Amino acid sequence: MSDVVFPAAAELLAGLAEYVAIPSDSRSASPQTMRAAADWLAARLSWAAGRVEETDGFPVVRAEWLGAPGAPTVLVYGHYDVQPTGDLAEWRTPPFELVVDGEVVRGRGVTDDKGPVLLVLEMARAVLAQRGTLPVNVKFLIEGEEEIGSPHLPAHVRAHAAELAADLVISADGAMWRPGEPSIAIASKGLVGLDVVVTGAAEDLHSGRYGGTVANPVHALASILAGLHTPDGRVAVPGFYDGVDELSPQRRAEIDAVRFDEEGYRASLGVPELFGEAGYGTLHRLWERPTLEVNGLTAGGKYTVIPHRAVGHVSCRLVGRQDPDRVAAAVAAHVAALAPPGVRVEVRVDEGRVPAYRIEPGHPAVTAAREALAEVYPGQEVLLAVIAGTLPATTLFESALGARTLFFSFATADEKHHAPNEFLRIRRLGEGMRAWAALWDRLASWTPATCIPDGAAR
Ligand SMILES: [Zn+2]
Q: For position 215, which CATH number holds?
A: 3.30.70.360
Three-state DSSP at 145 gives coil
* DSSP for 42-58, written as a single string: HHHTGGGT-EEE--SSS
CA–CA separation, 293 and 194 (whole Å): 11
183 Cβ contact partners less than 8 Å away, ≥ 6 residues apart:
176, 177, 382, 383, 384, 385
CA of 151 from ligand 1 middle (Å) equals 15
CA of 241 from ligand 1 middle (Å) equals 28
**Which pLDDT band holds residue 453 (cuts at 50, 70, 90)?**
very low
CA of 146 from ligand 1 middle (Å) equals 7
308 and 401 both lie in a single domain: no
Q: Which of 349, 370, 399 is the last residue of a domain?
A: 349
Q: How many H helices and E strands in the chain?
A: 13, 18
CA of 173 from ligand 1 middle (Å) equals 5
CA of 457 from ligand 1 middle (Å) equals 31
Q: Which of 349, 367, 397 is the last residue of a domain?
A: 349
Q: What is the pLDDT of residue 439?
A: 98
CA of 208 from ligand 1 middle (Å) equals 50
Quick one: DSSP state of residue 172? S
Do you know the residue count of the chain? 458
What is the total count of domains within the chain? Answer: 2
Structure pTM?
Answer: 0.86
CA–CA separation, 233 and 241 (whole Å): 13
344 and 421 both lie in a single domain: no
CATH code at 129? 3.40.630.10
CA of 256 from ligand 1 middle (Å) equals 28
Question: Domain range holding 361?
Answer: 9-188+356-451
CA of 162 from ligand 1 middle (Å) equals 25
Query: Does the pLDDT of residue 454 top 80, yes or no?
Result: no
Per-residue pLDDT tens digits for 96-148: 999 999 999 999 999 999 999 999 999 999 999 999 999 999 999 999 999 98
**Is residue 194 within 8 Å of residue 328, measured between CB atoms?**
yes
Q: What is the pLDDT of residue 10?
A: 93
Report yes or no on 251 lying in a domain.
no
CA of 268 from ligand 1 middle (Å) equals 23
Report yes or no on 282 lying in a domain.
no
440 and 363 both lie in a single domain: yes
Backbone phi and psi for residue 328, each to the nearest 5 degrees, phi listed first: -60, -40
Q: What is the pLDDT of residue 440?
A: 98
CA of 306 from ligand 1 middle (Å) equals 41
CA of 387 from ligand 1 middle (Å) equals 12
Q: What is the pLDDT of residue 448?
A: 55
319 and 207 both lie in a single domain: yes
101 Cβ contact partners less than 8 Å away, ≥ 6 residues apart:
93, 423
Arithmetic mean of pLDDT, 79-94: 95
18 and 41 both lie in a single domain: yes
CA of 408 from ligand 1 middle (Å) equals 12
386 and 447 both lie in a single domain: yes
Arithmetic mean of pLDDT, 247-265: 92
394 and 304 both lie in a single domain: no
